[in-house]
Amino acid sequence: MPQSPSTSAPQYDPAAEYRAGVAALEAKDYKKAKTSFDHVLSVTAIDANVHYLAGMSRTGLGDLKGARKFYARAAKLDSTMIAAWRDLGLTDAGLGNAAKAQETLAAIRGQRTTCAETCANAADLKAADEAVAAAIASIPVPPAKDAKPMSMAVPPASLLFASASFGDGQYLAAVALINERRYEDAIAALKSAQRVFGAHPDILTYLGFSNRKLGRYEAAESYYRAALAAAPGHRGATEYFGELMVERRDMKGAQRMLAALDAQCRFGCTEAEELRGWIAAGHSPHSL
């Protein structure tokens, strides 16, 4: 008897797939890297860093049109990701699209103006500006019909191939920052940890929690859903998602989250009791 789609579909561990993709990218095995990052994106499509790495793998394979889509998505998801803006501009130049490359260069220069050469990313912005400007200047007039694959632009090793200990340190720092209610700083630390570990459900859960505390409910929901897609039985994500539903007055949804926790915690657990308390009290966003 054939299996149903829900049981026969491939199951991916996004954190493991992410690590495999980074290792393949480091080894210049771009085909394997592409496969791994595509698997990660099938679970969570909101991670700018994974979109960027998926673009890098396609650049390595010479698929500039495919790479461009992922760089553009990464830049949209995280407007501060300088590497994504840089490689988007370089890719457009590689495709002979001077107008699009100029648009990206203007965006980079806008960030440089805001930075005023004093922010932490000043040197990276300057390098991106110079790289894209040089690439635009090298576009043939008229453009070549068949763009040649450009050389791969690899971000600093500290960002792409950071060690597990660095990721652990950033994660623990984020937890401490959350306890201090410094949610913006916590998000920055969590994203650094995410560059090491990928779509880890604990990191996604705390990204959801921090965004929720800042009133960014749609972003919070996206992170909670991604955490539960990566680990359907994650009790922390289930509890916090239920709390978000209470804040948004979706009491039926909150009850569903509580039922999921009760099914897991046959002898009780703190997550179920916390959410039960939220539902009973009927918290509003202004009562927290």
Quote the CA–CA distance of 74 and 84 in Å, as a whole number: 6
Residue 35 CB partners (closer than 8 Å, separation 6+): 21
> Residue type for 177, please?
L
pLDDT at 155: 47
Quote the CA–CA distance of 257 and 262 in Å, as a whole number: 9
Confidence of residue 8 (pLDDT cuts 50, 70, 90): very low
Q: Do domains 10-145 and 165-287 have the same CATH topology?
A: yes
Let me know: does 88 contact 104? Beta carbons within 8 Å: yes
HSE at residue 164, side-chain half, CA atoms within 13 A, is 6
Q: Is the peptide bond before 142 cis (omega within 30 degrees of 0)?
A: yes
DSSP classification of residue 45: S
Which has the minimum average pLDDT: 52-66, 149-163, 249-263? 149-163
Quote the CA–CA distance of 8 and 240 in Å, as a whole number: 30
Which segments of 3-143 does DSSP mark as H helices, in order? 5-8, 14-26, 30-43, 48-60, 64-77, 82-94, 98-115, 122-137
Tokens standing for residue 244: 């978000």
pLDDT at 139: 85
Quote the CA–CA distance of 67 and 52 in Å, as a whole number: 8
CATH of domain 165-287: 1.25.40.10
Q: Which CATH architecture group holds 10-145?
A: Alpha Horseshoe (1.25)
Model pTM score: 0.74
Which has the minimum average pLDDT: 70-74, 183-187, 229-233, 242-246? 229-233
Confidence of residue 152 (pLDDT cuts 50, 70, 90): very low
Quote the CA–CA distance of 5 and 2 in Å, as a whole number: 9
Residue 196 CB partners (closer than 8 Å, separation 6+): 162, 163, 164, 166, 167, 170
Q: How many angstroms separate the Cα of 112 from the Cα of each of 89, 90, 101?
A: 15, 18, 16
What are the residue boundaries of the structural domains of the chain, listed by start? 10-145, 165-287
Query: Per-residue pLDDT averaged across 164-177, rounded?
Result: 88
Residue range 87-138, pLDDT digits in tens: 999 999 999 999 999 999 999 999 999 988 888 888 889 999 999 999 999 8
Quote the CA–CA distance of 267 and 205 in Å, as a whole number: 24
> Residue type for 27, please?
A
Query: Per-residue pLDDT averaged across 28-49, rounded?
Result: 89
Residue range 242-281, pLDDT digits in tens: 999 999 999 999 999 999 999 988 888 999 999 999 999 8
> Residue type for 119, please?
C
Smallest CA-to-CA distance from 50 within 163, 189, 160, 207 is with 160
Let me know: does 14 contact 49? Beta carbons within 8 Å: no
Smallest CA-to-CA distance from 241 within 253, 252, 232, 230 is with 253
Smallest CA-to-CA distance from 224 within 215, 234, 185, 12 is with 234
